[in-house]
Amino acid sequence: MRHALVFFCLFSINVVFAADPLPSWNAGPAKDAIINYVKCATNDGCPLYVTPQERIAVFDNDGTLWSEQPAYFQLLFALDRVRALADQHPEWKTEQPFKAVLENDFKTIAASGKAGLLKIMAVTHTGMTTDEFEKTVRNWIKTARHPEKQVPYTKLVFQPMLELLNFLRANGFKTYIVSGGGIDFLRVWTEDVYGIPPEQVIGSSIKVKLEQRDGKPVLVRQAEIDLIDDKEGKPVGIHRYIGRAPVMAFGNSDGDLQMLQWTDRRENTLKALVHHTDAKREYAYDRESHIGQLDQALKEAQAKGWTVIDMQRDWKRIYPAPTPDN
């Protein structure tokens, strides 16, 4: 009996110390910074101790939790929707920017600028009920394939970040998405893919309006911006949805700078940037990129000693291992 107990205790200790909560992360300063922060934040004898209800960790999505090249995936969703709706809109054969979308003329789409993008977003994201939109996204995320990698978009999430989300939740952190992407686009699949429920997703939004259809209330998506959850909008979104400041913040671009600064207001917080340095396994871009531009935020991270996660150096693998069913 005594021997069995001793054995059991030794075994437990081995398990606790041997298990690496971040197996896809290489040893190095980024991994150390995260693990040391969490160890201290959850130890009430530590100067960085954070009470359980204050353990809020916020994550940008595009480029931080999943890839964002060759274009934001939600834009690729919108282009797919234009193609799917084209039969109902014969006028699109001659009307820009829809003509360009149908002809895969990306130069003309890009040249249509913000006005063109808004036209595409209006026809693909507004006018329907929230139920209808959710159903459309659910179907797309299940069936669509990334144009270059030829896999479902949800296979292009970062395995090291999935481990980080789980590690934080196992230590009592509430994990939030704070994305420039659309809140109603994200909420459909974030629970399955990241373990983040809809009520912990913050994103850009449009206004919705209550109407009665067939005697039942529905919410109809309006062509009117509610919140742009990017740059200075990120602290606004955090205040609106969470009502208190996070203690950990992860981003990858200048659009996250204000979120990291907002997190930096209080002491004993961790701010981190994912730096896309891996052209071979993912994509490499920063200062010059039109998507996920990283310039000012990287300078400020270096000046202030924030954590910079170098994808090539810090991550053993980028994407989850293929599972038998795909």
Contact positions vs a copy of itself (CB under 8 A): 53, 56, 130, 174, 183-184, 187, 191, 197-199, 201, 205, 208-210, 216-217, 219, 226, 232, 235-236, 239-244, 258, 261-262, 265
Q: From 58-66, 111-119, 137-145, 272-280, give the range in contact with Ca ion by CB under 5 A.
A: 58-66
Given the complex with a copy of itself, which of 244 and 316 has the nearer CB atom? 244
CB within 8 Å of 6: residues ≥ 6 apart: none
Q: From 46-54, 57-65, 149-157, 270-278, give the range in contact with Ca ion by CB under 5 A.
A: 57-65
d(Cα 84, Cα 319) in Å, to the nearest integer? 29
Question: Residue 249 belongs to what H/E stretch?
Answer: strand 248-251
Given the complex with Ca ion, which of 22 and 177 has the nearer CB atom? 177
Q: From 44-52, 55-63, 94-102, 239-247, give the range in contact with Ca ion by CB under 5 A.
A: 55-63
Q: Pick what 239 binds: a copy of itself, Ca ion, none; C-beta below 5 to 8 Å, kind-dependent.
A: a copy of itself
69 binding Ca ion? (CB under 5 A): no
Given the complex with a copy of itself, which of 202 and 318 has the nearer CB atom? 202
Q: Pick what 146 binds: a copy of itself, Ca ion, none; C-beta below 5 to 8 Å, kind-dependent.
A: none
- Backbone conformation region of residue 127, classed left if phi is above 0, alpha if psi is from -120 to 50, else beta: left
Q: Pick what 63 binds: a copy of itself, Ca ion, none; C-beta below 5 to 8 Å, kind-dependent.
A: Ca ion
**Binding-site member from 154, 175, 204, 253 for Ca ion (CB under 5 A):** 253
For residues 82 and 123, the answer to whether their CB atoms sit within 8 Å is: yes
Cβ neighbours, 10 Å, residue 243: 8
Q: How far is CA 139 from the centre of its chain?
A: 20
254 binding Ca ion? (CB under 5 A): no
230 binding Ca ion? (CB under 5 A): no
Helix-helix angle 73-85:113-125, to 10 degrees:
70
Smallest distance from Ca ion to CB 69, Å: 11
d(Cα 60, Cα 43) in Å, to the nearest integer? 27
CA-closest candidate to residue 99, choices 23, 41, 153, 111: 111
Q: Which residues bind Ca ion (CB under 5 A)?
A: 60, 62-63, 252-253
